[in-house]
């Protein structure tokens, strides 16, 4: 979000009168001019059609790498160029703010001036923008707070505690997930209660939690992420006249990543593209809203034209309520819709695409789509089976160095993984090898406690009724206000129908000690003083700020600095002896710097705009293309991005597909799509790696190769270290069916526990690192014996002597662990003390 929310006039008052949207009977308004437009240069016939088509509804099925962003951008530019739309009549919805910024930039680059007034933003940003304008209509303050999942969790925790609902098995997480799911279906506590089985005490309890949660948010004038969509839909349904203003304004709606829309988003799109009835249009005209040239023969305003772009094979957000039926049912929802299929891929080599096609082909119930490339086969996919997560990280790090030495920039490489927890091992190794990297997403800046503290001060100023923010800062920094005082204030507020903030001002009535009372009053005064700084000096008689900006009012950074010095938050961290507080102080200073940047970029932006921007940043938003670092991210974050070289790590059962997806209906299929998304991010080089063992919850688990690896034709993968024939339980099932069997590929053990590394389980042999990619396979084949390494039920006890393939002879001091995780603590005669996983270590009893 780079444009301030309040930077433009409301649609109702827009004075654009000429409204060049009208189509001829074919949906084309004179194609001659468009045919020659440079906008179509370099596009294939399908892409051209997607840019040129004019009609009510257009579905673009865009396979991965099929130039979808370019088509969407050019389509927007084309709408403007052919005068089918004014900029202000276009609403383009993207998945991330970064994608929105990119699109805005590209449209601007094509057209120069004239793209102002377009709304290009995410679902959530657009909804916030609408809701801030119309807040009073649905009983909200226009400065409403936006609760993130952590805020939701804290709120639910208090509710569950108050209800003793944990005895029914409710946790903030479980209740929150259920509430979110319901809100995505546009349900509320009441509508849920009507259909719930109220003879089930657990259901009764859940309804009560849901009710209280909704009530608390309302009292705090706060909305959670799901509310942003749901409340906008509610606004449009409950206030047809409000809806009509937006339907009148947005004549062209474009939605990217349509396969990942949930029901609430689907409903929102539907509300925005409905026609305005003749009666309502007449009413608008009578009210002085300019609608005449939009009205058709019956006097109604036809629904806006809708373009959606998506690919059901890349739907990976079902857990968040995404429903691919939105895309598969598009032609039913919008009769007469045009469907365009983009199958030519401009991103990846044919080898990568063939692998992707093979994998996704295993999903049934999909319309077959085959990506193809004119760019040649390219290099083979590289496979690698590591001994441990660390070993895998070492492989990734080594290969990154090889690629870099061969001339590839760090910024063109990315490492993907299924879970954020996998970053730890990768980071450790990358730091050690001095590889510049950056973790995209993960623990985000704005989620750090000290940043949330500082932001809570700002929120408390912007939205004084937000109890959550106030309670967060009540004793931060420490001012001697403990939990007893906090709950005392809270119930004092409830009993006297005051807001928490009012209770603070009246805290003298609580009969607390003079010290505590003084501290509370001082904080309340500080917040009041900060609020005064924001009151604009130049206002009209009826209190409306002149010029739509806070002329004369303090800007965000001034308010923040005032609050920081007034509260002592920064000073306390600076003077602390805890070394971590130094980092925290730096983070807060970084936040101050960000507010200054914000002031510069958004001269008209106010405190609320800043807080909104902060609330809605997505993981991929902080990706800096010019950073010159390797990017690390989850497969989910990777969607929509592309890199020269991609390392897809942790391709193991239990991780990809993830354990937790096994019970979910459609889980394995969604995990397969996730794998597919990861594969199709790669332009030239793709590395698939897995680890035989992986540390989790502090102990080591044996992992099997992912079932999805078997779905890739064997001749597409060049296994540098094959999963081979090693068995995990001494059986005869191959670990991966597509493993190369020629050339003597074999088990893990012998080849993997070469040099002994700091993890104590033996490290990977180094012989394959540092070699240029694409060396003949025989290099490895010769070094790996065909023996299968599996010690099965080898029994060892303290005192046994063993012989290790690399470390020589040693004595077992101790055996710990159970089953496949049994670990021998061995004192080697020459190699020192090692811990070995008995099952797979290259050892024998002597």
Please enumerate, by residue number, every residue annotated as part of a binding site: 62-69
Is 225 near DNA (CB under 7 A)?
Answer: yes
Q: By C-alpha distance, which of 340, 342, 343, 339 is closest to 370?
A: 343
According to CB under 7 A, which residues from 488 to 527 bind DNA?
516
Question: Contact region for DNA (CB under 7 A) — 49-57, 337-345, 481-489, 641-649?
Answer: 481-489
* Strands, E assignment, 217-275: 222-224, 252-255
Q: Is 814 a catalytic residue?
A: no
Q: In the bound complex, what is the minimum distance in angstroms from residue 143's beta carbon to DNA?
A: 20
Choosing from 8, 19, 49, 69, the catalytic residue is 69
Annotated binding site for ATP: 62-69
Q: Is 344 a catalytic residue?
A: no
In order of 560, 694, 794, the CA distances from 681 in angstroms are 41, 25, 44
Q: Which residues, 6+ apart, have CB-to-CB distance to 245 below 8 Å? A: 10, 11, 12, 284, 289
- Quick one: 418 or 684, whose CB is closer to DNA? 418
First vs last C-alpha separation in the chain: 68
Q: Which two tokens stand for residue 18?
A: 């000429």
Q: By C-alpha distance, which of 736, 711, 733, 701 is closest to 722?
A: 736
Is 481 near DNA (CB under 7 A)?
Answer: yes
Q: Which two tokens stand for residue 338?
A: 């045009």
Is 239 near DNA (CB under 7 A)?
Answer: no
Angle (CA) 232 234 240, round 5°: 95
Site string for DNA, 290-319 (x = CB under 7 A): --------------------------xx-x
Is 124 near DNA (CB under 7 A)?
Answer: yes
* 8 Å CB contact between 152 and 224: yes
- Quick one: 441 or 724, whose CB is closer to DNA? 441
Q: In the bound complex, what is the minimum distance in angstroms from residue 417's beta carbon to DNA?
A: 9
- Please identify which residue in 42, 329, 482, 770 interacts with DNA, judged by CB under 7 A: 482
B/e letters for 388-406, b = 16+ CB within 10 Å, e = fewer, are bbbbbbbbbbbbbeebbee
Q: Which two tokens stand for residue 618?
A: 């997505």
Is 223 near DNA (CB under 7 A)?
Answer: no
Is 230 near DNA (CB under 7 A)?
Answer: no
Strand order in the sheet with 808-816: 832-837, 823-828, 808-816, 801-804, 843-845
Q: Which residues, 6+ apart, have CB-to-CB distance to 552 below 8 Å? A: 536, 537, 538
Q: Is 720 a catalytic residue?
A: no
Is 616 near DNA (CB under 7 A)?
Answer: yes
Q: In the bound complex, what is the minimum distance in angstroms from residue 823's beta carbon to DNA?
A: 11
- Quick one: 317 or 708, whose CB is closer to DNA? 317
- Please identify which residue in 636, 684, 735, 764 interacts with DNA, judged by CB under 7 A: 636
Q: By C-alpha distance, which of 113, 61, 64, 71 is closest to 92?
A: 71
Choosing from 584, 639, 672, 681, the catalytic residue is 681
Question: Which residue(s) pair with 481 in the sheet?
Answer: none
Q: In the bound complex, what is the minimum distance in angstroms from residue 636's beta carbon to DNA?
A: 4
- Please identify which residue in 89, 351, 631, 637 interacts with DNA, judged by CB under 7 A: 637
* 8 Å CB contact between 466 and 221: yes
Burial of 299 by CB count in 10 Å (0-12 exposed, 13-18 middle, 19+ buried)? Answer: middle
Is 122 near DNA (CB under 7 A)?
Answer: yes
Q: In the bound complex, what is the minimum distance in angstroms from residue 123's beta carbon to DNA?
A: 7
> Residue 811: what are its φ and ψ, rounded to 5°?
-115, 135
Site string for DNA, 399-418 (x = CB under 7 A): -------------------x
Q: Is 183 a catalytic residue?
A: no
Choosing from 46, 82, 314, 485, the catalytic residue is 314
- Quick one: 483 or 774, whose CB is closer to DNA? 483
Q: Is 495 a catalytic residue?
A: no
Q: In the bound complex, what is the minimum distance in angstroms from residue 259's beta carbon to DNA?
A: 15
Q: Which two tokens stand for residue 367?
A: 């319309």
Alpha-carbon gap, residue 77 to 120, rounded angstroms: 13
Choosing from 48, 68, 248, 672, the catalytic residue is 68
Q: Is 314 a catalytic residue?
A: yes
Question: Contact region for DNA (CB under 7 A) — 17-25, 369-377, 692-700, 736-744?
Answer: 692-700
Q: Which residues bind DNA (CB under 7 A)?
A: 96, 122-124, 148-149, 171, 173, 225-226, 316-317, 319-320, 418-421, 441, 475, 478, 480-485, 516, 616, 618-621, 633-634, 636-637, 658-661, 664, 695-698
Active site residues: 68-69, 256-257, 314, 681
């Amino acid at each position: 979000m780079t444009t301030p929310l309040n930077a433009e006039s409301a649609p109702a008052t827009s004075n654009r009168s000429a409204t060049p949207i009208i189509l001829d009977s074919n949906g084309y308004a004179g194609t001659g001019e468009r045919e020659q437009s440079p906008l179509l240069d370099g596009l294939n016939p399908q892409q051209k059609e997607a840019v040129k088509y004019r009609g009510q509804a257009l579905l673009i099925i865009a396979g991965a790498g099929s130039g979808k962003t370019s088509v969407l951008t050019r389509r927007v530019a084309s709408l403007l160029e052919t005068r089918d739309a004014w900029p202000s009549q276009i609403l383009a919805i993207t998945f991330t703010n970064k994608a929105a910024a990119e699109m805005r930039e590209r449209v601007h680059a094509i057209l120069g001036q004239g793209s102002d007034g377009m709304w290009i933003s995410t679902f959530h940003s657009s909804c916030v923008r609408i809701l801030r304008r119309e807040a009073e209509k649905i009983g909200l303050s226009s400065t409403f707070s936006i609760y993130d999942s952590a805020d939701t969790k804290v709120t639910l925790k208090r509710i569950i505690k108050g209800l003793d609902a944990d005895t029914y098995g409710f946790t903030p997480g479980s209740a929150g997930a259920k509430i979110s799911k319901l809100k995505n279906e546009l349900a509320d506590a009441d509508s849920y209660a009507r259909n719930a089985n109220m003879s089930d005490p657990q259901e009764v309890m859940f309804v009560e939690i849901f009710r209280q949660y909704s009530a608390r948010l309302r009292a705090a004038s706060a909305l959670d992420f799901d509310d942003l969509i749901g409340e906008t839909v509610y606004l449009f349904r409950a206030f047809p006249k409000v809806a009509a203003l937006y339907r009148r304004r947005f004549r062209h709606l474009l939605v990217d990543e349509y396969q990942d829309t949930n029901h609430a988003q689907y409903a929102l799109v539907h509300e925005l593209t409905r026609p305005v009835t003749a009666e309502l249009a007449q009413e608008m005209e009578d009210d002085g809203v300019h609608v005449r040239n939009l009205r058709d023969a019956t006097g109604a305003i036809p629904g806006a034209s809708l373009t959606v772009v998506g690919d059901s094979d890349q739907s990976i957000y079902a857990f968040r309520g995404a429903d691919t039926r939105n895309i598969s049912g598009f032609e039913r929802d919008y009769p007469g819709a045009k469907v365009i299929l983009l199958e030519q891929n401009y991103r990846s080599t044919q080898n990568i695409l063939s692998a992707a096609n093979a994998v996704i082909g295993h999903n049934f119930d999909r319309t077959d789509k085959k990506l193809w490339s004119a760019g040649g086969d390219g290099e083979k996919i590289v496979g690698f089976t590591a001994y441990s997560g660390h070993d895998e990280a070492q492989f990734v790090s080594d290969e990154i160095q090889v690629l870099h030495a061969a001339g590839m920039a760090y910024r063109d490489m990315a490492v993907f993984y299924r879970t954020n927890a996998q970053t730890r091992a990768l980071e450790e190794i990358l730091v050690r090898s001095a590889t510049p990297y950056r973790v995209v997403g993960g623990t985000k800046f704005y989620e750090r406690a000290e940043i949330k503290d500082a932001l809570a001060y700002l929120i408390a100023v912007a939205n004084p009724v937000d109890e959550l923010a106030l309670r967060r800062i009540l004793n931060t920094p420490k001012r001697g206000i403990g939990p007893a005082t906090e709950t005392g204030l809270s119930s004092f507020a409830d009993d006297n129908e005051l807001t928490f903030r009012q209770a603070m001002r009246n805290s003298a009535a609580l009969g607390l000690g003079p010290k505590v009372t003084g501290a509370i009053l001082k904080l309340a005064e500080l917040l009041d003083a900060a609020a005064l700084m924001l009151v604009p000096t130049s206002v009209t008689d009826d209190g409306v700020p002149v010029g739509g900006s806070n002329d004369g009012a303090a800007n965000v950074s001034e308010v923040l600095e005032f609050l920081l010095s007034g509260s002592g938050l920064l000073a306390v961290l600076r003077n602390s002896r805890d070394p971590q507080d130094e980092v925290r102080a730096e983070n807060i200073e970084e936040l101050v710097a960000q507010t200054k940047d914000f002031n510069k970029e958004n001269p008209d932006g106010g405190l609320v705009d800043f807080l909104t921007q902060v609330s809605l940043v997505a993981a991929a938003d902080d990706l800096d293309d010019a950073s010159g670092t390797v990017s690390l991210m989850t497969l989910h974050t990777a969607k929509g991005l592309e890199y020269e070289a991609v390392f897809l790590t942790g391709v193991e059962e239990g991780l990809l597909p993830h354990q937790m997806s096994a019970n979910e209906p459609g889980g394995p299929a969604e995990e397969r799509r996730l794998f597919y998304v990861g594969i199709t991010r790669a332009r030239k080089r793709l590395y698939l790696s897995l680890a035989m063992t992986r540390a989790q919850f502090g102990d080591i688990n044996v992992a099997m190769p992912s079932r999805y690896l078997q779905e890739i034709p064997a001749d597409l993968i060049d296994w540098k270290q094959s999963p081979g024939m090693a068995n995990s339980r001494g059986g005869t099932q191959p670990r991966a069916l597509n493993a190369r069997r020629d050339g003597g590929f074999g088990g893990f053990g012998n080849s993997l526990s070469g040099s002994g590394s700091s993890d104590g389980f033996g490290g990977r042999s180094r012989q394959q690192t540092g070699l240029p990619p694409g060396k003949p396979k025989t290099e490895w084949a010769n070094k790996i014996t065909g023996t299968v390494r599996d010690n099965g039920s080898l029994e060892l006890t303290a005192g046994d002597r063993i012989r290790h393939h690399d470390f020589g002879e040693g004595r077992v001091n101790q055996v710990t662990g159970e089953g496949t995780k049994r670990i021998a603590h061995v004192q080697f005669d020459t190699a020192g003390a090692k811990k070995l996983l008995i099952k797979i270590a290259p050892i024998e009893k002597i």
